[in-house]
Amino acid sequence: MNKLLIAENFDRSARTYDRYAFVQRTAAGRLAGQFPRGGVSSILEIGMGTGLLTEMLLKMFPGARIDALDISPGMVETARARFAGNPAFSCTTIDAEIFEPDKRYELIASNAVFHWFSGLDGAVAKYRSALAGGGMLAFTAFGPQTFQELRGALQACFGPETAIASSSFPGADAYRGVLKKYFPVFRVEEVLIREDFDSLLELVRAIKRTGTRGSGLPGGIPWGRGILKEVEKSYRRQHGGICASFNLLVCRACAE
């Protein structure tokens, strides 16, 4: 994964993210349902973005201290403004795969971040070691079938080898394998969320304005009017409309 590009994409979308993040907000709600009920005083949030999940955490655990981090300076600035004056929240700009926790947490949470990691095993091992006894690691990630309709339409236009960012995302079995390695108790739930759009342009805008665009079209081809028309025609021929599937993985694991 190109971390610089990922950070730049999320920087550009910091002001528009909340407006277009329907799926991310849905994912955060599902994740919140996995958290323990009460009794949590220390939380680490990995990749808090604009603070969608953070807001839920603050309401669920009013007595907890939340340390948060994100790779995007723009997202960190937005989150700081959102929770300005709240002494229970602090955040840092840093790549979660570089960050080294210097204390232990009762809950480590993350929404729609782990699929961007270059080394899933190393990340899970690190955050497992940062859990207090009996603590929980709970996160969502998007799997490889995310935007499968868009991938199919692009392949019809540019060839069967065409890939998009989500093509390289780990699947449910990969998460089960690494969690089993480090935790005695874990669960990975796979959920398919579908969002409909009036046009391909609307879908492309939603992708850009949530920072999830990856490296764009193959070969750096720009999304010009002609390309949009060609891909949309392929999209509608295959699916009868413009829809997007999100292969959501909801994961939780408990330390001994």
For the segment 10-45, what is each residue's pLDDT rounded down to a tens digit? 999 999 999 999 999 999 999 999 999 878 999 999
CA distance 178 to 169: 14
State the DSSP string of 13-47: HTTTHHHH-HHHHHHHHHHHTTS-SS---EEEEES
CA distance 131 to 136: 7
pLDDT at 223 over 80: no
Which pLDDT score is estimated for 225?
A: 80
pLDDT at 149 over 90: yes
SS (H, E, C) 154-178: HHHHHCCCCCCHHHHCCCHHHHHHH
Which pLDDT score is estimated for 222?
A: 65
Could you give the 3-state DSSP secondary structure of residue 10? helix
54 residue type, one letter? T
Specify the DSSP class assigned to residue 245.
Answer: E
Q: To the nearest whole number, what is the mean pLDDT of the chain?
A: 93
Looking at per-residue confidence, does 223 or 73 come out higher? 73
The tokens 């955490």 sit on which residue? Answer: 57
Q: What is the pLDDT of residues 161-216, one digit of tens each?
A: 888 889 999 999 999 999 999 999 999 999 999 999 999 999 999 999 998 876 55
Which pLDDT score is estimated for 112?
A: 97
Which pLDDT score is estimated for 213?
A: 73
Q: Residue 136's beta-bridge partner residues?
A: 107, 254
Q: What is the domain partition of the chain in residue ranges?
A: 3-254
Percent of the chain with pLDDT over 70: 96
Question: Superfamily for 3-254?
Answer: Vaccinia Virus protein VP39 (3.40.50.150)
Which pLDDT score is estimated for 39?
A: 85
